[in-house]
Amino acid sequence: MSQLFRGDITNSVAELTLLDEEVIGGGAGTLSYGIGGTNNGEIKVVHKGDIVQSSGFYYAGSTYVGGEMKGLVIGTSCTSIGFYSFGGCSGLTGSLVIPNSVTSIGDSAFGYCSGLTGDLVIPDSVTTIDVYAFYQCSGLTGDLVIPNSLTNIGSYAFAYCNNLTTAYLAPPLASVGSYAFQFSGLTTVYAKDAVASGWTLGAGQTVGGKTGVTVIDWTNYPNIP
């Protein structure tokens, strides 16, 4: 187990890089080690392989257990971020970068990760964002960009993300689940092919359970206005 990861500690920041060839069990690209809570600085995780709840990150970066994870990098060998992979990691801070290799983001994958900050761009490879995937990610601010590849946004996926204000949605209206944006900060939606996709333009619309939203036709897709 001592060879499972390599790393160094500088100024109380541990940088742990999980290498494919060092993974035990499940074959290359499958994580078999997770980071527990720590009171000794921040943890930077460079991750390779698919991520599931049993990976051990679930609540690992929780402020409730004194842990922090900073600068999460998900490697391109990861194709899915599964059920509750990082759920409850309120101490996970900084921007979230999801590589183009990821095709699905599971139920509550980043639920309650209130420390995640910045705009959120979902890569073109993602086809499914499951229920509660980013539930109560209150630190996410600004814009949300959803690609044309997406076929489903689950219920409550972005509920209580009260600092996300603008969404750029390429998929049609039918793919937005009930209450997907309930109690979020959403005020404006740019929708690709809005009328043909079932959107009603103008102010006062309800999108994924959030009322009072202004819907605008995203005429210059994929460019951000």
Show me where the domains of the chain are located: 6-116
157/175 Cα distance (integer angstroms): 12
pLDDT value of residue 70: 64
Residue 9 predicted with pLDDT over 50: no
pTM of the model: 0.77
Instruction: Evaluate if residue 31 carries a pLDDT over 90.
Output: no
Distance of alpha carbon 31 from alpha carbon 127, whole angstroms: 23
Mean pLDDT on 6-31: 37
Residue, of 195 and 30, whose pLDDT is higher: 195
The set of residues, in sequence order, having a beta carbon less than 8 Å from that of 41 and lying 6+ positions away, is 9, 11, 12, 13, 14, 68
Per DSSP, what are the bridge partners of residue 207?
210
Tokens of 134: 């980013």
